[in-house]
Chains A and B, each alone.
Chain A
Amino acid sequence: MTGISIHELGVAFSAKDGRVIAVDGVTQEVPERGFVSIVGPSGCGKSTLLSVIAGLYAPTSGHVEVGGRRVTGPDRAVGVMFQEDSTLPWKTVLENVRFPLQVAKVPKSEQLTRAQQAIDLVGLGGFERRHPAELSGGMRQRVALARTLAMRPSVMLMDEPFAALDQQTRLLLGAEVLRIWRETHQTVLFVTHDISEAILLSQQVWVMSYRPGRIIDVVDVDLPEDRDASVVATPAFNALQNRVWEVLQAESMRGFAQENAVPASGVPAS
């Protein structure tokens, strides 16, 4: 069982202007082999939530279980894809993808076959000896994806992996992720700020609020399992998108007002 369960999770940071509550009272489940997306305004705590699940930060309160076991630190069965470009510029594509296998002391011949499989899976065959500087942003994210997949994790945590890419590339890579997920059937928690991407990819969408970061809406995506990009033209898709959009819009406005509020006035513009 490799679902994710989040119990009363809270994360606070002490900043110059006082305490920032990045994540507050989040209790949610990602079922085993489920694909769940999180959408929310910038700075609402999505990355923080994912980092805690990945075992990279300790929460201030509450806890997370992955596969029934309490998270106390990073786990090699949990693959993480970061929001920033995390390809190592001094390594070739093959070396980048091999890196976690090398760290895990997988036998060398197996390292190479598994890395090659992952590279082929994300469609980067032929680019093994290139360095990241020679690749486009989309290809670099594919390298990061291949690197995560090479470890064959049972859980994938993906933090806006395609946010920096153009719309076409993002759609393409989203379809790729979906195809790979159907093959590997991992449990996926996917962060994005693109509502249609979230609905297109996942079975459930969590909408997160801005400061404190709470899950304010959970939307089940009852669209066909084997859908492709053409589904965006259907009324069902539209209805889902409108629902998420309404919640998110109100939230974004509140966040924006809060961010730009004069501290002295003290009146939240909600």
Chain B
Amino acid sequence: MTATVSQPPAGGRVLAGSVGVAVAAVVLWEIGSHLSFVIPPPLDTARALAADLTDALFLVNLRETMLAATAAFLLSAAIGGLIGLGLGLSRVARLLLSPIVTAMNGVPKIVLYPILLPVFHLGYGSKIVMGVLFGLFPVLINVMTGVQQIPSVYWRLARSVRAGRWQTLRHILLPAIRGPLLTGVRLAISLSLVGVVLSEFFATKYGLGRVVLRSYSAGDYPNMMGTILLLIAVSFVLSLLLWRMERRVR
């Protein structure tokens, strides 16, 4: 085996590759914009986005969405983490609850919206709940399988040195599931944002989902596209950061 074959690509090459892909995407986008009137040209979109980012009302909408998404994400991570831990640790709980989890995970969450709306009302409540419904399951399922996959010898080691509950949690359990936990959290970040924006399409006063829909109805495609791109960029950057953290985990 030659050493060069299995060597990972150098940082410079990765960067060059990413820039290349980005340039190609913009070129395709420009071509696409001439084929369909719904797709605005890249330059118009960039201008619209720049204008939006200095617009007070747009910033209110942005803040609204980001606050709701952050809350939804934190709740997803906390609730999903705890339920996942419980299910991973207890075979009985798994037997009883995993059919429900599987079924719930399979339901297209958006069909629950009409049920959520009267319960949690317009505004933050229903958005956050929808965000949690989207973000919860990846954390839950990853943590649950992560706990189950901990080698049994680690548990026996903990017991043989008489480690207590907290000591086992701190020294064995949490470090052992860091990888799957981060994977779940990474997925939850973008999915809770999706859940929030999606619920903003339906009924809400403020939020970027609302902006996208309003721009669409008004035929303001550059504005619509700019907002969508902003959402993609936010979720992409956050996911990328977590993905890098994930790779560093032993």
Contacts and interface: CB of A to CB of B under 8 A. Distances in A.
B180 to A, nearest CB: 14
Contacts of B154: 86, 88
B167 A103 contact: yes
Interface string B49-65: 00000000000000000
Nearest to B155: A56
A99 B151 CA distance: 17
A80 B157 CA distance: 8
Nearest to B158: A103
Given A86-B154, A88-B171, A99-B171, A76 B161 contact: yes
B175 A82 contact: no
A246 to B, nearest CB: 34
Interface in B155-192: 156-157, 159-164, 167, 171-172, 175-176, 178
Contacts of B162: 73-76, 103-104
Given A103-B162, A133-B250, A86 B175 contact: no
Nearest to B249: A90
A86 B178 contact: no
Contacts of A31: none
A131 interface: yes
Contact of B163 (A73, A86, A103): A103
Contacts of B161: 74, 76, 99-100, 103-104, 151
A80 B171 contact: no
Nearest to B172: A88
A75 B175 CA distance: 25
Contacts of B175: 88, 90-91
Size category of the A interface is 20 to 34
A146 interface: no
B218 interface: no
Contacts of B178: 90
Contacts of B250: 89-90, 131, 133
B100 to A, nearest CB: 27
A54 interface: yes
A90 B175 CA distance: 7
Contact of A54 (B153, B160, B163): B160
Interface string A88-100: 1111000000011
A110 interface: no
A220 interface: no
A74 B160 contact: yes
Nearest to B152: A84
Contact of A84 (B151, B160, B171): B151
A68 to B, nearest CB: 20
Interface string A71-83: 0011110101010
A115 B81 CA distance: 34
A78 B157 CA distance: 12
A105 to B, nearest CB: 9
A80 B161 CA distance: 9
Interface in A124-146: 131, 133
A82 B158 CA distance: 12
B159 A74 contact: yes
A114 to B, nearest CB: 14
B198 to A, nearest CB: 37
Contacts of B164: 103
A88 to B, nearest CB: 7
B153 A84 contact: yes
A86 B153 contact: yes
A243 B153 CA distance: 34
A82 B178 CA distance: 24
Interface of B: 151, 153-154, 156-157, 159-164, 167, 171-172, 175-176, 178, 250
24 contacts: A51-B156, A54-B160, A74-B160, A74-B161, A74-B162, A76-B161, A76-B162, A80-B160, A82-B153, A82-B156, A84-B153, A86-B156, A88-B154, A89-B250, A90-B178, A91-B171, A91-B175, A99-B161, A103-B163, A103-B164, A103-B167, A104-B161, A131-B250, A151-B161
Q: Which 7 A-B pairs have the closest CB atoms?
A: A100-B161, A90-B175, A84-B153, A80-B160, A103-B163, A86-B153, A74-B160
Interface of A: 51, 54-56, 73-76, 78, 80, 82, 84-86, 88-91, 99-100, 102-104, 131, 133, 151
Given A102-B171, A103-B164, 14 more contacts: A51-B156, A56-B156, A74-B161, A74-B162, A80-B160, A82-B157, A86-B154, A88-B172, A88-B175, A89-B250, A90-B178, A99-B171, A102-B167, A103-B171
